[in-house]
């Protein structure tokens, strides 16, 4: 009889142990819900970026390109009563600007100048030429209805090439007009310039 009791006790203990193990496994499974294991990825090192100097050397070597950035280019017309001639000027000093202004009576007779350009011209003084200068292009147009607009400027060596768009009216007026395009250029970029090349593209209004 005693032997039977011992056997029953062992069976009871074994059953309890199995139940506890099953409960622990269930708890572990619950804890793992939403967790996805993934194999470790091979973390290849990203190639090192080239130093700034190398990047600059790989880029196309363009001198000074103002395309799309020359929002302060001035386009205006001056008096028709003056002698008319097409020319260009490199203006490095306030004295040269004064000569240009007086010869074309720009500020003296600003009838054809838009308010924005006139305001900018009136602000030009000796202080301005400590850091800036101008390339001035003057074109005589056969009709006052034609438009002349400065678009971009490229300094390459000692040559400043200016790009101008000329829009010719289909039916133009009979008056002759003197058009000015004034490109601001930094003094540093202007110091080597000795020649100006004017490239004009044509389009109809």
CA distance 89 to 58: 35
Residue 118 is predicted with a pLDDT of 93
Pure H helices in the chain: 2-31, 52-58, 94-103, 115-122, 187-190
Structural domain boundaries enclosing 114: 61-204
CA dist., res. 198 & res. 151, Å (int):
11
pLDDT at 36 (0 to 100): 36
For residues 82 and 78, what is the distance between their CA atoms, to the nearest angstrom?
9
Query: Is 81 inside a domain boundary?
Result: yes
**Tally of domains in the chain:** 1
With a cut of 70, list the residues of the chain below it in pLDDT: 1-71, 81-82, 142-144, 170-175, 204-205
pTM exceeding the 0.85 threshold for the entire prediction: no
Please check whether residue 49 lies inside any domain of the structure.
Answer: no
Dihedrals phi, psi of 10, to nearest 5 degrees: -65, -40
pLDDT at 15: 54
Q: What is the pLDDT of residue 104?
A: 92
Question: How far apart, in whole angstroms, are the C-alpha atoms of residue 150 and residue 200?
Answer: 9
> How does pLDDT run across 27-57, given as a tens digit for each residue?
444 444 433 333 444 444 444 443 333 333 3
């Amino acid at each position: 009889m005693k032997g039977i009791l011992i056997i029953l006790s062992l069976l009871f203990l074994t059953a309890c142990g199995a139940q506890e193990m099953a409960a622990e496994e269930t708890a572990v499974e619950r804890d793992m819900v939403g967790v996805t294991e993934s194999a470790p990825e091979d973390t290849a090192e990203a190639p090192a970026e080239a130093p700034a100097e190398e990047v600059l050397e790989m880029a196309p070597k363009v001198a000074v390109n103002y395309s799309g950035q020359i929002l302060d280019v001035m386009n205006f017309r001056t008096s028709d009563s003056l002698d008319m001639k097409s020319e260009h000027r490199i203006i490095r000093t306030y004295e040269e600007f004064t000569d240009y202004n007086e010869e074309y009576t720009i500020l003296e007779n600003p009838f054809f100048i838009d308010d924005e350009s006139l305001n900018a011209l009136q602000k030009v003084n000796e202080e301005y030429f400590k850091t800036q200068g101008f390339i001035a292009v003057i074109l005589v147009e056969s009709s006052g209805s034609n438009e002349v607009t400065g678009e971009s400027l490229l300094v390459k060596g000692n040559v400043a090439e200016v790009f101008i768009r000329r829009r010719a009216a289909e039916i133009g007026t009979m008056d002759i007009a003197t058009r000015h395009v004034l490109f601001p250029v930094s003094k540093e970029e202007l110091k080597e310039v000795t020649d100006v090349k004017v490239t004009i593209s044509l389009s109809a209004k």
